[in-house]
Chain A
Amino acid sequence: MKQLFQDLAIVLAWICCILLFSWLLLYFTSEIRSTSLIRLCNTEIKGQGSTVSVQKILSMNNGGLLFSASKPNTTALLSPMLSPYGLSMNLMFIDASLHADTLYPIGTSSHWINQRTNPELVSFFMDLWITNPVLKEKRSK
């Protein structure tokens, strides 16, 4: 019994150490990661003719990222879309009336996948993201 508790204590120490190292790694790189992602998104959407840019990461939800935008009362959502051709990452600006008209694929692969995906599937995903109740609440804050 004593041996079992000793072993459990060692395992807990291992788990705590690994979780601590993981947290430290994510914490100390969070600033650099956010900056590089914002820079990348802005370069991509500028290349596709957008005059609005993304500014700060507001929250993360279901693999999607919510950004603040340079236009007032507008947020930007970066979300993955799974199609038969793979996963594409897309950014869209959502205004206060929950309206989004343009989908900006991020990366050449996403652009390629979107071009070949059925437009109905793309609109379905856009509707799904816009009407997500969790994101809706976060946007209203």
Chain B
Amino acid sequence: MAQIDTHPFWGNRSPLAHVSYIPFLLYASVRFSIAIMSSAALIWTYALTSLTILVAAGAIPRTFKPMVQVFISSFWALVFGVLIYLFSPILFYDIQFPVAFTAVLFMISGLGEKVAATDFSSGMKKTIVEALVISLIILLFSLVREPFGFGALSLPTNEGIKEILTSDIASDIAIKSIATASGGLIVLGFIVGLYRIVKDMFLTYYSQRENQ
């Protein structure tokens, strides 16, 4: 098992295993309002699916656990979608793709298996922490993409996406390619590069402190 986990292609740390969040990240971070709603959908789906899996752990046959988890996560994503539709139908149409994707994301993250193998409190903690970390990345990413790509900042309201802090000048000078999916990938590349530099700096700093 440990050999598979560290495998360069099939392992949990392989390049392909890390890109599972990218489609969601790219779509959800295009606007701040979509990022807020996608984060809420992600936390809702992750938390309630994990809760259901933990509460009904004894009632789900081990062999078919992933299959049942697909249905449970899809159900909670659907409930979130209906609640948003009741709040604002147009907002639902704006965020329907990321909401549907949260159920898929739960499955490809392998969180269901990890949660089922732990006790209630640590399982829930693991779920909430993972959902919060992804949400934070999406929100920060959208705070770069929307102001620079659209020259505006938007919030979710019952009339759909409402733009605040917008002006014609800001909109004209915005680097529109950042708002597109390809531009998002370029920005992601820069952010990952920056993350590695900062991580290396921290590692160097802490190792030097330990040596002292």
Contact = CB atoms under 8 A, between A and B. Distances in A.
Partners in one complex: yes
Interface of A: 4, 6-8, 10-11, 14-15, 18-19, 21-22, 25-26, 29, 32-33, 36-37, 40, 80, 84-87, 89, 106-110, 112, 116
Interface string B53-84: 00000011101100110011011001100100
B93 A36 contact: no
A123 B90 CA distance: 22
Contacts of A26: 78, 82
A109 B59 contact: no
A29 to B, nearest CB: 6
Interface string B148-179: 00100010000111110000000000001001
Contacts of B60: 10, 14
B64 A86 contact: no
Given A107-B94, A109-B31, A109-B160, A22 B89 contact: no
Contacts of A29: 82, 85-86
Contacts of B161: 107-109
B90 A40 contact: yes
Interface in B26-73: 30-31, 33, 59-61, 63-64, 67-68, 71-72
Contacts of A33: 82, 85-86, 89
Interface of B: 30-31, 33, 59-61, 63-64, 67-68, 71-72, 74-75, 78-79, 82, 85-86, 88-91, 93-94, 97, 150, 154, 159-163, 176, 179-180
Contacts of B63: 4, 7
A107 B86 contact: no
A4 B64 CA distance: 10
A85 to B, nearest CB: 6
A103 B8 CA distance: 51
B174 to A, nearest CB: 10
Given A10-B59, A36-B89, A109-B33, 5 more contacts: A26-B82, A85-B179, A106-B93, A107-B90, A109-B94
A22 B30 CA distance: 30
Nearest to B34: A86
B159 A107 contact: yes
Contacts of A25: 78-79, 82
Contact of A87 (B64, B78, B89, B94): B94
Contacts of B89: 33, 36-37, 40
A89 B92 CA distance: 11
Q: Which of A18, A22, A26 has the most CB of B within 10 A?
A: A18
B90 A14 contact: no
Given A18-B72, A85-B180, A107-B160, A11 B30 contact: no
Which 4 pairs between the two chains have the least Cβ-Cβ distance?
A: A107-B160, A7-B61, A109-B161, A37-B89
A6 B72 CA distance: 20
Given A29-B86, A33-B89, A86-B31, A22 B78 contact: yes
A46 to B, nearest CB: 14
Contacts of B150: 85, 112
Contacts of A80: 93
A108 B78 contact: no
A53 to B, nearest CB: 16
Contacts of A86: 30-31, 179
